[in-house]
Amino acid sequence: MRSLIIAPQWIGDAVMSQPLLARLSARGETLTVAALPWVAPVYRAMPEVGDVIELPFAHGRLDGWARRRLGVALRGRYDRAYVLPNSMKSALLPWFARIPVRIGYRGEMRVGLLTERLPDPAGRPPMVAHYSALAGGSPALNERPRLRLSRQVVQAAAAQVGVEPGRYWLCAPGAEYGPAKVWPPERYAALARALHAGSGWPVLLLGSGKEAALCDGIVQSAPDACRSLAGRTSLIDAMALIAGARGMASNDSGLMHVAAAFGIPQAAVFGSTSPEHTPPLNPNARVLWLREELGLACMPCFERTCRFGHTRCLTGVPAERVEAALEEAVLSAGAQARDTAPL
């Protein structure tokens, strides 16, 4: 059974689709993923994926003729397609490719484009289960995303920026979704100073080019503790640095899910979004979501910007709490490693 996966466009969603791919591979399906270039490296870190097609489509555009050309070129190559995004345009490629079985959620105007349409779920279900349901049956309760990179790739990425695996910290202070998910930069600077003072190790800041100014501002507040790599690494190098880190602090973001999939110790700060919907599925993760403690009825609002202008859901999280959570995650990971070590 040859299957084509139409991938989501966001890094976090791509990571959370891995359990679906693991289920499909386990039952004998040979998987090719069609993904936009900025998420394609995530799928290359999934051992279940046999091939990745980088889509030449522009973000936010229909590109109907380009989809048709590629679809015609793919005819006869696949038996099934799984369409993970809910948009109409995402279902066009397998339709143009005349793939006999095309599975996805009802989504946006997809009558005729899909042969099997699951009903759209109510509310905001956990995303891993949402994707895994496309395989049919009930997802396993312990499903969580897992990524793999070779030791050589991790060591090469660390050497390129002058650090040693296991002897540096990471912070990912940005969030593509919007400022309502971003813990204040002065808190990241305070955290970086504390982590550096406690270990002597550098704190590296990861992010896209859009987040370079944010990260540069943090470096200015903690120049001896951290340095910014925002916009200066490829996604695969950023993933490798995450895999080799001692631990990472972040907002609810795509890089948070990458860290979870590598199982590294992490502290994740949630504000406008909910860990009930997109948690870091990692036994070594600690989540800081202070809805009950802060008494904010507006949490989660899922807004890109705070409608009240105060973002108390984020400013109410002190740096000391995140530092303590990260230290606890590191200790927990060490205890788990000892418990599972061979006698």
**pLDDT band per the 50, 70, 90 thresholds, residue 164:** very high
- Degrees (nearest 5) of the Cα angle 92, 7, 123? 95
- What top-level class would CATH report for the domain 2-135? alpha beta
- CB neighbour list of residue 6: distance below 8 Å, 6 or more residues apart: 34, 81, 82, 83, 84, 85, 90, 91, 93, 94, 104
Place of tokens 């095309």: 102
> Under DSSP, is residue 35 helix (H, G, I), strand (E, B) or coil?
strand
- Banded model confidence at residue 338, pLDDT cuts 50, 70, 90: very low
Tens-place pLDDT, residues 278-317: 999 999 999 999 988 888 889 999 999 999 888 899 999 9
Per DSSP, the three-state class of 185 is helix
Q: Is the pLDDT of residue 335 over 60?
A: no
Burial 302-319 (b: 16+ CB within 10 A, else e): ebeebeeeebbbbebbeb
CATH 3.40.50.2000 domain extents, the chain: 2-135, 151-340
Q: How many residues does the chain have?
A: 343
Q: pTM of the entire structure?
A: 0.93
Fold of 151-340: Rossmann fold (3.40.50)
Q: What is the DSSP string of 196-259?
A: HHHH---EEE---GGGHHHHHHHHHHSTTTEEE-TTSS-HHHHHHHHHT-SEEEEESSHHHHHH
**Over the stretch 227-281, which tens digit does the pLDDT of each residue have?**
999 999 999 999 999 999 999 999 999 999 999 999 999 999 999 999 988 999 9
Where would I find the beta strands (DSSP E) of the chain?
2-6, 30-35, 49-54, 80-83, 101-105, 116-118, 169-172, 203-205, 226-228, 247-251, 266-269, 285-288
